Amino acid sequence: MIFTFGKHNGRSVEEVILRDANYIAWILNQKQPRGSFAQACERARQLIAIFNSKPFLLKCCSSVCSATATLATACIRPYTTVMFWCDDCSPVGSEVNAGKFQQVVTYNDAVFHVSSWWGGGEEGYQSLIRDLAQAKGLPPQARAKQIQAFFGS
């Protein structure tokens, strides 16, 4: 689906999901959307569900583990590398790392993390969501066809 309104007029909802989470959050929070706006909101919800259902394809980053990652952690300080872990190796909740990391698995986790800890800047949303999407199989610097394929569109 292509946006037919607003600042992303002419761009696909799939692309905007990955590149402007702030805008997606804004449209999803509008009361009683109508027409093409309502259709875009529904499509965004569907795409977020698809994003969330995709498993991570990376191995756990622990040097002593070869399991597939099931979650990611992001530092609560300004953007740093996202780390991918299996359930057994995750540092979230350990006393040593208390207050340093937040678990990030879903699209909404990423939006919450960036708005809560990184000041809500567009670069933070784009970076964290891009890292999660790539860990779920989106090629780096994906073009429109690759983005469509990632979402199964």
- For 67-84, the pLDDT digits (tens) are 999 999 988 876 667 899
Element (H, E) at 149: helix 144-151
Start-to-end CA span in the chain (Å): 9
Element (H, E) at 75: strand 71-75
Domain shared by 82 and 126, yes or no: yes
Domain shared by 128 and 78, yes or no: yes
Domain shared by 110 and 77, yes or no: yes
pLDDT at 91: 77
pLDDT tens digits for range 88-123: 887 765 544 556 778 899 999 999 988 888 887 778
- Number of domains the chain contains: 2
Note down the domain range covering 97.
71-136
Residue 130 counted as domain residue:
yes
pLDDT at 50: 97
Domain shared by 85 and 121, yes or no: yes
Which residues 6+ apart lie within 8 Å of 128 measured at CB? 74, 79, 82, 104, 110, 113, 114, 118
Residue 63 counted as domain residue:
no
Domain shared by 78 and 119, yes or no: yes
pTM of the model: 0.89
